Amino acid sequence: MFISLAMLLTLDASAQQVSDQDPISPKVLKSFQQEFAKATNISWMPDKDKNIYHARFQYNNEPVEAFFTDDGTLVSTARFISERQLPIMVIKELLNNYSFYTIRQVVEFTNGQETSYMVNAYNEKETLVLKFFANGDSQRVKRIKNKS
Amino acid sequence: MKKTILALAVILTIGMTSAFANEDINQNAVASFRKDFATARNVSWQQSRNYVKATFDLNNQVMYAFYNYRGELMAVIHHILSNELPGDLESALKKEYREYWVSDLFELSSDDQHLYYVTLENADTTIVLKSDGSSGWKYYKKLK
Give A115→chain B minimum CA distance, Å: 6
Whether the CB-CB separation of A79 and A52 falls below 8 Å is answered with no
**Contacts with A84 from chain B: Cβ below 8 Å:** 59-61, 84
CA distances from B39 to A96, A132, B19, B63, B66 (A): 8, 20, 27, 13, 17
CA distances from B36 to A89, B43, B107 (A): 10, 13, 18
Average pLDDT, chain B: 85
Tell me the C-alpha distance between A103 and A93, whole Å. 13
In terms of phi and psi (left: phi > 0; alpha: psi -120 to 50; beta: otherwise), the region of A51 is: left
Q: CATH code at B24?
A: 3.10.450.360
Is a pLDDT exceeding 80 seen at residue B12?
no
- The phi and psi torsions of A3 (rounded to 5 degrees) equal -60, -40
Tell me the C-alpha distance between A84 and B31, whole Å. 26
Q: CATH code at B90?
A: 3.10.450
Q: B117 and B74, same structural domain?
A: no
Tell which residue, B72, B70, B51, has the closest CA to residue B9. B51
User: What domains are there in chain A, each with its CATH number?
Assistant: 2-77 (3.10.450.360), 81-145 (3.10.450)
Q: B100 and B48, same structural domain?
A: no
Q: Largest Cα–Cα distance in chain A?
A: 48
Q: B110 and B52, same structural domain?
A: no
- Residue A3 half-sphere exposure, CB side, CA atoms within 13 Å? 7
Q: B109 and B70, same structural domain?
A: no
Whether the CB-CB separation of A67 and A79 falls below 8 Å is answered with no
Q: B89 and B73, same structural domain?
A: no
Express each pLDDT in B89-139 by its tens digit: 988 898 899 999 999 999 999 878 899 999 999 999 999 999 988 778 999
Please judge whether A136 and B76 are an interchain contact, meaning their C-beta atoms are less than 8 angstroms apart.
Answer: no
Q: B70 and B6, same structural domain?
A: yes
Whether the CB-CB separation of B49 and B26 falls below 8 Å is answered with no
Q: B101 and B67, same structural domain?
A: no
Q: B106 and B122, same structural domain?
A: yes
> Vertex A91, ends A88 and A97: CA angle to 5°?
135
Please judge whether A91 and B114 are an interchain contact, meaning their C-beta atoms are less than 8 angstroms apart.
Answer: no
Q: B36 and B70, same structural domain?
A: yes
**Contacts with B57 from chain A: Cβ below 8 Å:** none
pTM of the model: 0.78
Tell which residue, A72, A67, A79, has the closest CA to residue A117. A79
Whether the CB-CB separation of A95 and A49 falls below 8 Å is answered with no
Whether the CB-CB separation of A120 and A105 falls below 8 Å is answered with yes
Domain boundary, last residue among B78, B112, B131 = B78
The more confident residue out of B24 and A63 is A63
Q: B68 and B30, same structural domain?
A: yes
Q: What percent of chain A has pLDDT over 90?
A: 55
Give the number of A-B residue pairs with CB atoms closer than 8 Å: 69
pLDDT value for A2: 53
Tell me the C-alpha distance between B88 and A110, whole Å. 8
Domain tally for chain B? 2
Q: B108 and B60, same structural domain?
A: no
Express each pLDDT in B61-77 by its tens digit: 999 999 999 999 999 99
pLDDT value for B14: 47
**Contacts with B133 from chain A: Cβ below 8 Å:** 115, 134
Please judge whether A88 and B91 are an interchain contact, meaning their C-beta atoms are less than 8 angstroms apart.
Answer: no
Q: B138 and B88, same structural domain?
A: yes
Express each pLDDT in A81-113 by its tens digit: 999 899 999 999 999 999 999 999 999 998 877
Lowest mean pLDDT among A6-15, A39-48, B97-106: A6-15
Give A55→chain B minimum CA distance, Å: 16
Residue numbers of the domain that contains B46: 2-78
Is a pLDDT exceeding 50 seen at residue A13?
no
**Contacts with B83 from chain A: Cβ below 8 Å:** 60, 62, 85
Is a pLDDT exceeding 50 seen at residue A16?
no
Tell which residue, A104, A70, A89, has the closest CA to residue A136. A89
Tell me the C-alpha distance between B88 and A66, whole Å. 12
